[in-house]
Structure 1
Amino acid sequence: MSNDKTFKALVVEEDSEGNFSKSIQERQVSELPDNDLLIEVHYSSLNYKDAMSASGNKMITKNFPHTPGIDAAGVVISDKSGTFSEGQKVVIFGYDLGMDTPGGLGQMISIPADWAVACPDALTLEEAMIYGTGGITAALSIQKLEKMGAKPADGPVAVSGATGGVGSISIAILSQLGYDVIAFSGKTEQTEHLKELGATEVRHRDSVNDVGKRPVGRELWANAIDTVGGEYLANLLKQTKAGGAVTSCGLAASAEFAMTVLPFITRGVSLLGIDSVYIPLEDKKTIWNRVATDMKLPNLESYGEEITLEQTPEYLDRFMAGKTVGRYVVNVKG
């Protein structure tokens, strides 16, 4: 493909006064990094990290102008490494994509070949992006609980940030696998939606904090998936049954939490970190195969709202305002 070929991309720019703006612009392939794998992106998805990058968060993206998009699904245009063949369907999430490497909210990306995995035959590119980083993080969380011995008979699994991308897919997969789910959300108007996803019970997010300053509370759930951090994570841990575990994958509430060690040393509760960015490539292949098989959701299209590339500035602002529900799939190719 000629390096002077143009493509559309969301571009975030910083002005001389430190203000940031978002717009859809024409870019050239020659402006992309000189990596082995050139991909035509068909679909991406929106994540909280994309919204932080698009708002100018220098902890996520250091250099501007920049194209966010930590997820991408598309077809191979060329691969100098010989790993993939022309026209092969691939998916990418994690590593530096969409952080300081131009990401999936552009119609073309250039990345190292070892950032990509073949898209499972059982998934279309669009379905892969309904999962995206949010769905894969949910699947990784459930898989890690399983490795700790979790099973439906143990009791319910609590899920915080239930209407978010990770939370909503966690509920759906857990329900499909036979678990009872207690969903915590501040969006009480979404109660019926959460029950449709598979939640057995829906509670206001702040009720998890009723335990207050006590070092431990009553044992209310067997395991939990936390997507928000802060005191919510601490209080999920305090109310987890003996021998249970809580996974941690988000920080929308806070990156810090304070508590005693009592849940760990008196109940044997475990805190499990979930990394979906830098996990080994083989582990990424394994979890993609699971979401294409035993974790594949029926009527998958119902779990994501499809939007256009031109709509992404508006929807990224919604993320920062806390006004999003579920997964957003971006039809990048148009």
Structure 2
Amino acid sequence: MEFRALLTQRDEAGEVTNRVERLPIEHLPEGDVLVSVEWAGFNYKDGLCLGGLGNLVRSYPHVGGVDFAGRVIESRDARYHPGQAVILTGWRVGESHWGGFAERARVKADWLVPLPKRLSTRDSMVLGTAGLTVMLAVNRLRLLGIAPQSGEIVVTGAGGGVGSQAVMMLGRLGYRVVAISGRPELAEPLLRLGASEVLGRDAIMTQSGKVLDKERFAGAIDTVGGAMLPELLKKIRSDGAVAAVGNAAGVSFEASVIPFILRGVSLLGINSVTVPYEMRVALWDRLSSLFVAGAYERMVTEIGLAEIPTYAERILAGGVAGRVVINPRR
């Protein structure tokens, strides 16, 4: 039996290529469950992997795709049976283990979760790692007592996959959301998703030279990192918090301790890669109750395997809005 996959190769000179090929099923890595992939998600990390960047992929040839959903073909684990719909996100699949940019995937059973009944496999990949990350961030903010009545929540990088889903989820939960985006053309879609206001990057990045700015936001979900994060911290209200979920603007930042020690601001790190099984099941159940496919559909782009390399370049350049989902049969 053969299956189609986007195969990533690296030659002796270090040049990386990506090409759709037909591979024998025996080429799949070891695992407990064989899955027929119906949909895969597309993330910034996928762009890095396909470009051979960040030292994320150590072994070639490789099949990327950190998210996928589909139906079980074979299982050696009692939790899963043939025909069952499942989701996979995280666990370095698509990096150190072959992922979802293929018609077939073989993975460890512990990495999967059952698909909630309220979601289709396509819906789950519209959400994907982005949705799971947002749900983790929202839960952390809520645990600190940051509720809708606490004040405005700001979302940076609001036009991207994680940012746009944060706008949608926070809006659904009753928060007043201020969306920050460097793309003015996305203002109307973000307002439709649930933003109360859409501002340009200058709303955060105007540097006052002070260690603290006027208190405005009760909390934040920051998908950008880099130089924006310290400017954002200056604008958070007392006992507020910033959930850091991304690094589109860089992995390092220089900040003052003053927001932490004078205002009690918290900086929350969000890691969606190794979330325990029981927690992931609960998170996906909550996501399924909040997600409205029709409300988000205008932010979804559907592509096939052969189009992924083009979108890898676009996402690294900040040129992808919303979520991209992959149909491996195209």
Q: TM-score range by the shorter chain?
A: over 0.9
Letter of the aligned partner of 1:130 in structure 2? Answer: V
Shift of 1:63: 1.4
List per-residue Cα deviations over 1:64-94 (Å, max 9, x = no partner).
2211100010000111122201110000000
In percent, how many aligned pairs have the same letter? 37
Distance 1:126 1:222, change over 3 A: same
**How large is the Cα RMSD of the aligned pairs?**
1.2
- Equivalent runs, 1:198-277 vs 2, <5 Å: 198-277=194-273
The answer to which of 171-180 and 295-304 deviates more is 295-304
Of residues 69, 79, 84, the one that matches 1:83 is: 79
Name the structure 2 match of 1:330.
326
Determine if the alignment matches structure 1 residue 112 to structure 2 residue 82: no
Letter of the aligned partner of 2:292 in structure 1? Answer: L
Contact residue 67 and residue 88 of structure 2 kept, 8 A: yes
Name the structure 2 match of 1:151.
147
Name the structure 2 match of 1:37.
33
Instruction: Name the count of aligned residue pairs.
Output: 329
Contact residue 230 and residue 256 of structure 2 kept, 8 A: no
Contact residue 73 and residue 91 of structure 1 kept, 8 A: yes
Name the structure 1 match of 2:310.
314
Shift of 1:298: 5.0
Where do 4+ consecutive residues of structure 1 move more than 6 Å?
none
Contact residue 42 and residue 74 of structure 1 kept, 8 A: yes
Distance 1:121 1:179 in 2: 27
Letter of the aligned partner of 1:277 in structure 2? Answer: V
Classify the secondary structure of the residue corresponding to 1:200: strand
List per-residue Cα deviations over 1:147-185 (Å, max 9, x = no partner).
111111111100001100000000011111111111111
Determine if the alignment matches structure 1 residue 24 to structure 2 residue 9: no
Letter of the aligned partner of 2:291 in structure 1? Answer: K
Gapped runs of 5+ residues in structure 1?
none
Classify the secondary structure of the residue corresponding to 1:7: strand
Of residues 280, 287, 299, the one that matches 2:276 is: 280
Contact residue 171 and residue 199 of structure 1 kept, 8 A: yes
Normalised to the residue count of structure 2, the TM-score between the two structures is 0.97
Name the structure 2 match of 1:140.
136
Distance 1:243 1:84 in 2: 44
Gapped runs of 5+ residues in structure 2?
none
Classify the secondary structure of the residue corresponding to 1:194: helix
Shift of 1:110: 0.8
Normalised to the residue count of structure 1, the TM-score between the two structures is 0.95
Distance 1:220 1:233 in 2: 15
Distance 2:240 2:167 in 1: 18
Shift of 1:29: 1.2
Name the structure 2 match of 1:188.
184
Name the structure 1 match of 2:99.
103
Contact residue 163 and residue 194 of structure 1 kept, 8 A: yes
Distance 2:147 2:179 in 1: 18
Shift of 1:297: 2.4
Determine if the alignment matches structure 1 residue 49 to structure 2 residue 26: no
